[in-house]
Copies of this chain bind each other. A is one copy, B any other.
Amino acid sequence: MHRARSSTAFLFDLDGTLIDSVYQHVLAWKEALDAEGVELSVWRIHRKIGMSGGLFTNILLRETGLEITEERLARLHQRHVEAFNRQHTQGLVRPLPGARELLAYLTEQGYPWAIATSGRMATAAHNIAALGVDPSKVPVITRDQVRHAKPDPDLFLAAAEKLGVDIEQSLVIGDSIWDMLAAQRARALGVGLLSGGYSEDELARSGALRVYDDPADLLKHIDEVAARL
């Protein structure tokens, strides 16, 4: 049965929001930084995850006082991709509880939805496949397609545009403070998930309207944030 479209659109972050991959990304960055001789504590990497990879590596290198060269950045990104995809091959990265069910529910009910990730297609492709999402049917905006990634609003603005929805009628679902900041900067509403390992307080203080455990918990409480059909 086809229902009338709701006025609420859902713009999803990917890592930590639909896929249980944040901690693997964190240790993949740790491995890449170690190989470059950049000594950085793991929790500091975790707190930067989810922002633009370029911004992330620039900030890290600036904080550690190392010179930022094109070659060093390219090596860091390459090593991160390799380390992350190695974990993926081992089957250690999977969708979060309720992720597939939530997306299926939205599709069935006629809510427009899209995915907008600070990652590049090189790491996102595995994750999108694991979710059973067909990128020819669902808008997937990656870092390759916009000038600035999160916390800039570009990714979510591009996702709303591709869906043909008003960003001000959209919810941004994310696990990191960078998603919540980007949501506010785009004039969308942010909904936080704890599944990336940030705390409720960190998400609320960066603008989350509501915070849920994970996609399963959001699905259970969907009427709190989405327009009724």
Contact = CB atoms under 8 A, between A and B. Distances in A.
B197 A43 contact: yes
A65 B97 CA distance: 15
A31 B27 CA distance: 14
A96 B41 contact: yes
Contacts of A24: 27, 42
B201 A43 contact: no
A79 interface: no
A92 B30 contact: yes
Main secondary structure of the interface of A (DSSP, over half): helix
Contact of A22 (B31, B43, B92): B43
Contact of A46 (B30, B92, B197): B197
Interface string A180-194: 000000000000001
Interface string A6-25: 00000000001000101110
A195 B43 contact: yes
Contacts of A160: none
A41 B22 CA distance: 11
